[in-house]
């Protein structure tokens, strides 16, 4: 093998074509699928007394179900990254007048105050009431022991992924769905319903609007509609 035949690499300054993605590859749920997923999460569980007497009205609050429904709803309604949601403390949830809001710490530890959709607020309140999370320094979303008692430890990203996959499979949705899907779903549905790209960018805490645009599936849906309408064999 001949080395150093020429003093410099003649191709050193040649630049290849730049790759540009116009549509994101994050899985996105349709609004109906998102509603189905939230409705599919059970919020009551059969107690030992109910099982002993063959079932019946003796049921208790399913802390795990209420927790899972609340955290999924918050990711979808606020467009927050899963890492920011998992870092939430009880003290980060407060009322401003009659409206609820969350104090999130997003990428780069950037603080972000977000208003809660009334449904996400209801789901979160139901979770906090059942779990009795009151200490301002306590993790908002904690792991549970085998007796459905809070451990005081926050959910990890891996814990959350198991939650998401389990809930999606139980609801008949693809197992390939990931934590990031709810952020993308919220942005996509917001834009489809007439929300502005600027507002979505601000809510998602994106520096560049092109990043937010990756979740805009309106043109994709229009193309699908045209294909169905125009192509007939």
d(CA 136, CA 128): 12
Task: Give the long-range contacts of residues 94-97, CB within 8 A, separation 24 or more.
Answer: none
Residues of the chain with pLDDT under 50: 19-20, 49-51, 53, 55-58
> Where does 31-48+57-217 sit in CATH, by number?
1.10.443.10
Residue 46 pairs in a beta bridge with 59
Q: How far apart are the first and last CA of the chain?
A: 59
Residue 59 contacts by C-beta under 8 Å, 6 or more apart in sequence?
A: 44, 45, 46, 47, 50
d(CA 167, CA 185): 16
The tens digit of pLDDT for each residue in 179-206 reads 888 999 999 999 988 999 999 999 988 8
Strands 59-61, 44-46: pairing kind: antiparallel
What secondary structure does DSSP assign to 185-225, as a single string? HHHHHHHHTT--HHHHHHHHT-SSHHHHHTT--HHHHHHHH
The domain ranges of the chain are: 31-48+57-217
What was the pLDDT predicted at 218? 77
Give 5's DSSP letter: S
Q: Quick one: angle between helices 63-78 and 118-131, nearest 10?
A: 150
Strands (DSSP E) found in the chain = 44-46, 59-61, 93-96, 99-106, 110-115, 142-144, 150-154
Do 144 and 36 form a contact (C-beta atoms < 8 A)? no
State the Cα angle at 221 between 219 and 227, rounded to 5°. 105
The tens digit of pLDDT for each residue in 166-178 reads 999 999 998 888 8
State the Cα angle at 66 between 81 and 191, rounded to 5°. 40
Instruction: Report the predicted TM-score, pTM, of the whole model to 2 decimal places.
Output: 0.79
């Amino acid at each position: 093998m001949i080395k150093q035949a020429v003093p410099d690499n003649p191709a050193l300054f040649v630049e290849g074509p730049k790759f540009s993605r116009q549509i994101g590859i994050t899985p996105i749920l349709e609004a109906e699928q998102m509603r189905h997923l939230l409705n599919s999460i059970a919020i009551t569980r059969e107690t030992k007394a109910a099982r002993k007497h063959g079932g019946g009205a003796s049921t208790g609050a399913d802390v795990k179900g209420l927790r899972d429904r609340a955290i999924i709803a918050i990711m979808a309604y606020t467009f927050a990254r899963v890492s920011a949601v998992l870092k939430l403390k009880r003290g980060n949830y407060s009322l401003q007048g009659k409206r609820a809001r969350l104090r999130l710490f997003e990428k780069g530890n950037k603080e972000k105050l977000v208003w809660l959709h009334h449904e996400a607020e209801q789901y979160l309140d139901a979770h906090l009431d059942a779990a009795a999370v009151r200490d301002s320094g306590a993790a908002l979303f904690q792991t549970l022991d085998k007796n459905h008692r809070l451990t005081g430890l926050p959910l990890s990203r891996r814990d959350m992924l198991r939650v998401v996959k389990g809930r999606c499979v139980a609801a008949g949705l693809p197992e390939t769905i990931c934590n990031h899907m709810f952020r993308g779903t919220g942005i996509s549905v917001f834009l489809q319903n007439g929300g502005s790209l600027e507002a979505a960018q601000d809510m998602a805490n994106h520096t560049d609007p092109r990043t937010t645009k990756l979740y805009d599936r309106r043109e994709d849906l229009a193309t699908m509609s045209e294909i169905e309408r125009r192509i007939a064999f």
